[in-house]
Amino acid sequence: MPAERLLPTDEARELLGLVADITDQELEPRASIDEAASQFPRKAFTVLGRAGLLGLPFSEEVGGGGQPYEVYLQVLEEIAYRWAAVGVGVSVHVMSCFPLDRFGSPAQRAELLPSLLAGDLLGAYCLSESHAGSDPAAMMTRATVAPGDPAAGDAADAGFRISGTKAWVTHGGVADFYTVFARTPSAASAGDTPAAKTADGGISCFLVDAGTSGLDFYPPEHKMGLTASPTTQIGFNDVPVPAARLVGARGQGLTIALTALDSGRLGIAAVAVGLAQRALDDAVAYAQERRTFGKAIIDHQGLGFLLADMAAAVESARATTLAAARRRDHGLPFSRQASIAKLVATDAAMKVTEDAVQVLGGAGYTRDHPAERYMREAKVMQIFEGTNQIQRLVISRHLARS
Amino acid sequence: MNIVVTVKQVPDTWAEKKLDASDRTTDRKSVDNVMNEMDEYGVEEALRIKEAHGGEVTVVTMGPQKAVETIRKALSMGADKAVHLTDDALHGSDALQTSKALAKVIATLSPDLVITATEASDARGGVMGALLAERLGLPQLTLARKVTVDPAAGTVQIERQADNGYALVEASLPAVVGVVEKINEPRYPSFKGIMAAKKKPLTTLGVGEAGLDASEVGLASAGSKVDDAEPRPPRQSGTIVKDEGDGGAKIAEFLATQKLI
Ligand SMILES: Cc1cc2nc3c(=O)[nH]c(=O)nc-3n(C[C@H](O)[C@H](O)[C@H](O)COP(=O)(O)OP(=O)(O)OC[C@H]3O[C@@H](n4cnc5c(N)ncnc54)[C@H](O)[C@@H]3O)c2cc1C
């Protein structure tokens, strides 16, 4: 029983119809094949991009689709229903555009956002490092200020040079632009002394083109799931970044990163709901066909109740996620609710996908059925964009402050 | 370039096609209706020619009220405007009558190029392009797998698909060109395209407004009549050949009796 949606507008209904059409034809037939071959479906993203599905939650003035999160998240759900790795990819792309949209200057937004949202480019988000995942403030990647050329009469700084190694970058090596966080020297401590150049001024956010010199893309990690989506380390070897590509104020980077993650977590929650819905639908279809002891297994109460619990988990995860989205759409604080949604939805996806394997019995344990893949895909959702322990930390800190 | 592309709403390609029991016309009520799949290639080609040479793409369809969905799809893919010929009097028109009605509408648009698909998946007559060309007095190029227009020279050249290769065929503009599925990969509508389509001009014409007389069209005066129809017989169970060392020979024998080899 596919999801029954309550959508706010006719426009949203037509959008969801378009998404079903495209994902049925472009994603559904390829998901299992490309996942098995660890093949990144770049062309699928181009098709989604041309249809306007990579910029949905951004305003129309900058080339976005002008959709509320309540609608955008349901699109993500439908994409992840056909192919979780693509759902994750769209969510990560949107998160990579978020800092520029929210914190960029009007000139930067006008110059850069339309091309990032036009659909041909794909973004990536470089926050984590090997030793700084849950604790991104411990990052060591550093941007130094490159002084302007005094001979040419440059009074202002020419820009920055980034050095360090980022880890776990979704779309590493296949993205067209990278939103990168790095430590910068304090803006106040100007001057030419080495100490002033390196005095810690916190973290800053930059936009780096994939073609920039000094970027070193490592081979993709060998992951348990989401194998079609490359996750890599990226070496930054004195990578030049013009001053105009600093997003927000110098030192504002950690705030930017955490603000982006609040919205990103809603995206991951929606992807988890889509994946869980798919596992449920596949399990129900199988349970209606498969017969033991003279009847369909869904008619054995012991199994029917398992399916009922799965349905309850999927629908409550969706409700929690959309409730958080509506707060965001209404301009209310939603950080705590986003963490709750991410925690609830990804835990639900883990439980539901595991139970889907159980419903399929021995068949569920083979790679001939996608149930085991769903289970492998669900696991990472409890880990990235803040592990579910970190979500609890966010929630409990909100409670302590209240 | 002023390009006209014809589209038709048909029962979903995979739906079982039935005739309406009352008048033996195509049953369009009990099935999902979609844009004739091959028309998507025609629309795509029209859009590509427009993108290369400028101009305007007008979608023309004849069909019941619901066919406006197919027009919307073509408009959301990027066509500029549409004409929908719709009237109860048109119900049951055969190919000859349909071509007469469509040609009337198309002639008023003075196109440089008319693009059709090779056939529609419901009736599969494959004659509409030729009928339109004849009625419009225009040259027709068929089975195009590639179209090159030269607006300055006033010509259109196609690669006409053949069994083992292709023929280069050229005509002066205006002309009617029929395209095959190999020609391109139709785009999906975009979200913005769907929104924009709502604001694009759509002219709805009845029989009289199109300059036709109700007696010229429709089931009553159709030149062809469907007297009876039988559903396709259920598929027979196959022949099972047991291989006792002579399996190859038996298969060859079977294929020979079916005149397949
Ligand atoms: C497939 C994949 C894609 C990713 N994509 C991106 C990306 O695009 N961009 C990006 O920047 N990062 C990305 N990440 C990184 C991801 O966000 C981190 O892996 C995650 O934040 C956890 O960090 P860690 O791996 O360093 O684990 P650690 O921080 O080492 O955590 C190890 C364990 O300790 C627990 N733990 C840590 N601190 C606490 C605490 N204070 N209280 C309780 N428990 C704690 C954690 O919950 C976890 O169980 C991706 C990761 C994966 C696996």
pLDDT at site A155: 55
> May I ask the CATH class of domain B2-221?
alpha beta
pLDDT digits (tens, 9 = 90+) for A228-250: 999 999 999 999 999 999 999 99
pLDDT digits (tens, 9 = 90+) for A260-272: 999 999 999 999 9
Q: Which amino acid is at B112?
A: D
Calculated CA dihedral for residues A286, A291, A293, A294, nearest 10 degrees: 140
pLDDT at site A154: 57
Q: How confident is the model at residue A63 (pLDDT cuts 50, 70, 90)?
A: very high
The domain limits of chain B are: 2-221
How many whole angstroms separate alpha carbon B94 and alpha carbon B224?
Answer: 7
Q: How confident is the model at residue A186 (pLDDT cuts 50, 70, 90)?
A: confident
pLDDT digits (tens, 9 = 90+) for A151-170: 665 556 679 999 999 999 99
Give yes or no for residue A311 CB within 6 A of ligand 1: no
Phi, psi of B179 (to 5 degrees): -110, 150
Q: Which residues of A touch B188 (CB under 8 A)?
A: 18, 21-22, 47, 50-51
Question: Which atom, in ligand 1's list, is nearest to the CA of A223?
Answer: 1
pLDDT at site A157: 66
Which spans in A63-189 are helix H? 69-82, 84-103, 106-117
> Hey, is the C-beta of A20 within 8 angstroms of any chain B C-beta?
no
Tokens representing residue B66 in the block: 């619901």
DSSP string computed for A68-101 = -HHHHHHHHHHHHHH-HHHHHHHHHHHHHHHHHH
- CATH 2.40.110.10 domain locations along chain A: 123-250
Rounded average pLDDT per 10-residue block, chain B, 261 residues:
94 79 79 89 97 97 93 96 94 90 95 92 84 96 96 96 94 96 94 94 94 86 83 81 87 88 84
Tokens representing residue A74 in the block: 């349901």
Tokens representing residue A310 in the block: 């799965």
- Stated as kind and residue range, the H or E segment containing A185 is strand A177-185
pLDDT value at A259 more than 80 = yes
Q: Which residues of A touch B75 (CB under 8 A)?
A: none
Give yes or no for residue A379 CB within 6 A of ligand 1: no
Share above pLDDT 70 across residues of chain A, in percent, rounded to a whole number:
94
Q: Which residues of A touch B194 (CB under 8 A)?
A: 14-15, 18
Number of inter-chain CB pairs under 8 A, A vs B: 25
Residue nearest to atom 35 of ligand 1 (CA): A389
How many whole angstroms separate alpha carbon A371 and alpha carbon A281?
Answer: 11
> May I ask the CATH class of domain A123-250?
mainly beta
How far are the Cα atoms of B51, B57, B143 from residue B2, in angstroms, in the given order? 12, 6, 21
pLDDT at site B170: 97
Q: What is the mean pLDDT of residues A318-338?
A: 98
pLDDT at site B28: 77
pLDDT at site A191: 56
Phi, psi of B181 (to 5 degrees): -65, -25
pLDDT at site B239: 78
pLDDT at site A150: 59
Closest CA to B193 of B27, B37, B57, B4: B57
> Hey, is the C-beta of A44 within 8 angstroms of any chain B C-beta?
no
CATH of domain A256-401: 1.20.140.10
Tokens representing residue A317 in the block: 């995860």
pLDDT at site A197: 59
Distance of CA A59 to the CA centre of its chain: 19
Question: Which atom, in ligand 1's list, is nearest to the CA of A135?
Answer: 29
> Hey, is the C-beta of A22 within 8 angstroms of any chain B C-beta?
yes
Q: What is the mean pLDDT of residues A88-101?
A: 98
How many whole angstroms separate alpha carbon A71 and alpha carbon A51?
Answer: 16
Average pLDDT of chain A, as a whole number: 94
How many whole angstroms separate alpha carbon A71 and alpha carbon A68?
Answer: 6
Q: Which amino acid is at A275?
A: L
How far are the Cα atoms of A95, A222, A384 from residue A231, in angstroms, in the given order? 16, 9, 12
Share above pLDDT 90 across residues of chain A, in percent, rounded to a whole number:
91
How many whole angstroms separate alpha carbon A23 and alpha carbon A29?
Answer: 9
- Stated as kind and residue range, the H or E segment containing A18 is helix A10-26
**A10-117 CATH choice from 1.10.1240.10, 1.10.290.10, 1.20.210.10, 1.10.540.10:** 1.10.540.10
pLDDT value at A188 more than 60 = no
Contacts by A22-31, CB closer than 8 A, 24 or more apart: A22/A47, A22/A48, A22/A51, A22/A53, A22/B188, A23/A78, A23/A79, A23/A81, A23/A82, A23/A83, A24/A82, A27/A79, A27/A82, A27/A83, A27/A86, A28/A82, A28/A83, A30/A83, A31/A82, A31/A83, A31/A85, A31/A86, A31/A228, A31/A370
Active site residue A289: no
Q: What is the mean pLDDT of residues A38-61?
A: 96
